[in-house]
Amino acid sequence: MQYMLALPNGEQIPYHLERRARRTIGMKITANGLVVHAPLRIRQSELETLLLSKARWISTKLQARQSASIPEFQWHDGATLHLLGQPLTLRIIQATRNSSPELAGRELRIATTDPHDHGLIAHKVIQWFKKEARLDFIRRLPILAARLGEPTPSLFLSNARTRWGSCNSRREVRLNWRLIQADPSLVNYVIAHELAHLREMNHSAKFWAVVASIYPEYRQAERDLKACSQQLYLIG
Ligand SMILES: [Zn+2]
């Protein structure tokens, strides 16, 4: 039987339940997702309480499984990249000298002496994304800070593997450059989230109330960010 496990953060995890003559509950992650083996008599509510206590383990394992199945990004002509949620087509142009990528309509054009030097192309495109990220984030930061009534904190780009942003007591906000690929609403959300840490250095109810005061749709944004995070980590 297929069921849905609703996590406190709003995420829904489908799972396949098989009841068996056994005493303990077993869980495994398969190509089809989470499979739970449970004793015949255990009540559904009891089972879900137990699954919820293992939610972190389940999410981590599911994510690892998914990322293992995602193919590596191919840096070839015609590949699709994203800038602020909009697709960009990568155009690799054979030329007599290398140059930095340039945006032309919905194309990101890069001229190179060796179109097969994927390492160099990747490096140059990622540099370009970082530059775009800085330009974009530095515009948004004061707008959202003003909404909170806070002076604009210092901005740094981050290259973190596991987080979108951070904020410290020295009023330094770090934002992951990969966010520049995401929809603008998600960039705004992460900035709002980090700015709220200027008031509350924790994730308490008080903190989320501050987030909501400048970004009311934060729950949806959290879900959307989770849903697209693998996509955002495809490059770099
Ligand atoms: Zn936080």
Instruction: Give 10-residue mean pLDDT values along the chain (236 residues).
Output: 82 86 88 87 90 88 76 91 97 95 97 94 97 98 97 96 91 97 97 97 96 97 92 89
Structural domains counted in the chain: 2
Q: Domain of 167?
A: 80-232
Other C-beta atoms lying within 10 Å of the C-beta of residue 159: 11
Cα(200) to centroid(ligand 1), Å: 9
Q: Please answer whether residues 165 and 193 qualify as being in contact, where contact means their C-beta atoms are separated by less than 8 angstroms.
A: yes
Residue 75 forms part of a structural domain = no
pLDDT at site 186: 97
Q: Are residues 102 and 196 in the same domain?
A: yes
Question: Alpha carbon of 203 to those of 6, 15, 60, 70, 215: distances in Å?
Answer: 20, 29, 20, 31, 15
Cα(204) to centroid(ligand 1), Å: 10
Nearest Cα residue to 111 out of 97, 128, 125, 123: 97
Q: Are residues 147 and 214 in the same domain?
A: yes
Cα(112) to centroid(ligand 1), Å: 41
Cα(206) to centroid(ligand 1), Å: 12
For residue 75, how far is the Cα from the chain centroid? Answer: 21
Q: Are residues 61 and 86 in the same domain?
A: no
Beta bridge pairs of residue 40:
none
Cα(79) to centroid(ligand 1), Å: 33
For residue 25, how far is the Cα from the chain centroid? Answer: 31
- In the chain, how many H helices and how many E strands? 6, 11
Cα(106) to centroid(ligand 1), Å: 33
